[in-house]
Amino acid sequence: TSLAEVNSFSPSVPISPSSMINQYKFEDGPELRDLFITVDDPESHITAIETFITYRVVTKTTRGEFDSSEYEVRRRYQDFLWLKSKLEEAHPTLIIPPLPEKFIMKGMVERFSDEFIETRRKALHKFLNRIADHPTLTFNEDFKIFLTAQAWELSSHKKQGPGLLSRMGQTVRAVASSVRGAVKNRPEMFTEMNNYMETFSQKINLLDKIAHRIYKEERDYFNEMKEYGPIHTLWSASEEDIADSLKGIAGCIDRCCKATERRIAGLSEHLLPILHEYVLYSEILMGVLKRRDQIQGELDSKVDALANKKTEKDLFSEEIGKLEDKVERANNALKADWDRWKQNMQWDMRSSFTNVAENNLHYYEE
């Protein structure tokens, strides 16, 4: 086969999933970054009141708004929750990346076990780096404080007054109660988004359940094989005539056992976290669409009030103008984030399933 044929995507030339992933990565590679974040070095803390884990967050940057080029702080899970809530307050119609739940993969790993802590560390690392790669969220002031402030400084900052959404809580709740049905003037684009997310949510939840079931079945199979090999080794000690054959079977089972263990690791590394992250994303996006509808509903209610009012028309007109600007900003923010999210989601799904397919190929070859 010529070099040209090998490098082409001709159907006659088999291409490994790894090659395809590298090709996609080359095409979709991010631009030069100026903010690098690492979450590592989990550390247990035991007090009279609670037991918790902190993680080291190391930030390296060339941005002018930072006083230093490198920072190292320790953060616990509650600090990440605080950051997520502040981002939601400041950017109600942007898609904030999901955090792992309080108890990740419930029923699969014990809390504070090494596996649990490592799974959470990876999820927290991804959370911060998704924010760092976001064109708007990366410049959020609370994000900068999270990355740079020492523990006592962050604690002091967290005690400051409530954020914008907290102050507007009553208004938002009032509007939400009036927007229980369909929004009157919702653009068709956002209705389509809503329908897409309802379908996406059903499908991704189903995929998540299937993946967990496969993982459990593979894990049970692996545990049974671990017991099956040594039995043949013991059996060979009492059967001289077929001892070599029994030892051969024991060795074969051992190799299959190791191959299955690698397959399970591939599922837990490349498939389960991605599917579950997008289960959480589906909930986040439904919330973002509701918040957009609430802003639209606030405008609609003011327009209706203006139509029924005979006095104070100038005041109402001014308020409506401000609300129209607010709706337009919310719509534009969500439109831009929606396209970006879909592109990332398609890349994540493509690479995740390709990795699993490649792992399966290696498994059956072994």
Please check the confidence at residue 60 and state whether its pLDDT lies above 50. Answer: yes
How confident is the model over 266-288, as pLDDT tens digits? 999 889 999 999 999 999 999 99
- Residue the block writes with tokens 């699993």: 356
Q: Which stretches of the chain are assigned E, i.e. beta strand?
A: 35-46, 51-61, 70-76
Mean pLDDT across 308-331? 77
Query: Could you tell me the two tokens for 55?
Result: 């993680």
pLDDT attached to residue 298: 86
Q: Who's near 344: CB < 8 A, 6+ residues apart?
A: none
Residues in the chain: 366
Helix axes of 272-308 and 114-133: crossing angle, nearest 10 degrees: 50
- Residue the block writes with tokens 């999820």: 123
d(CA 71, CA 150): 10
CATH architecture of 182-365: Up-down Bundle (1.20)
pLDDT attached to residue 16: 45
The radius of gyration of the chain from alpha carbons, rounded to an integer in Å, stands at: 27
CB–CB of 57/73 below 8 Å? yes
User: What SS3 class is residue 35?
Assistant: strand
Query: Could you tell me the two tokens for 340?
Result: 């970006």
Q: Who's near 12: CB < 8 A, 6+ residues apart?
A: 5
pLDDT attached to residue 114: 83
C-alpha distance across the termini of the chain, in Å? 27
Please check the confidence at residue 149 and state whether its pLDDT lies above 60. Answer: yes
Query: Could you tell me the two tokens for 236?
Result: 């060979």
Residue 4 binned pLDDT confidence (cut-offs 50, 70, 90): very low
d(CA 9, CA 23): 10
Query: Could you tell me the two tokens for 118?
Result: 């490592």
Query: Could you tell me the two tokens for 33?
Result: 């970054």
Please check the confidence at residue 108 and state whether its pLDDT lies above 70. Answer: no
Helix axes of 272-308 and 169-178: crossing angle, nearest 10 degrees: 80
How confident is the model over 173-212, as pLDDT tens digits? 444 444 444 577 788 999 999 999 999 999 999 999 999 9
β partners of residue 74: 56
pLDDT attached to residue 241: 92
d(CA 184, CA 300): 7
CATH assignment, 33-153 = 3.30.1520.10
d(CA 99, CA 127): 6
User: What SS3 class is residue 36?
Assistant: strand
Please check the confidence at residue 216 and state whether its pLDDT lies above 90. Answer: yes
d(CA 99, CA 88): 13
How confident is the model over 220-234, as pLDDT tens digits? 999 999 988 899 999
How confident is the model over 25-55, as pLDDT tens digits? 434 444 578 899 999 999 888 877 878 899 9
pLDDT attached to residue 22: 42
How confident is the model over 287-308, as pLDDT tens digits? 999 999 998 888 888 777 777 7
CA distances from 145 to 94, 95, 127 (A): 20, 20, 16
pTM for this entry: 0.79
Please check the confidence at residue 102 and state whether its pLDDT lies above 70. Answer: no
- Residue the block writes with tokens 């904030």: 96
| Residue among 266, 280, 293, 282 nearest 357 (CA) | 266
Give the domain ranges of the chain.
33-153, 182-365
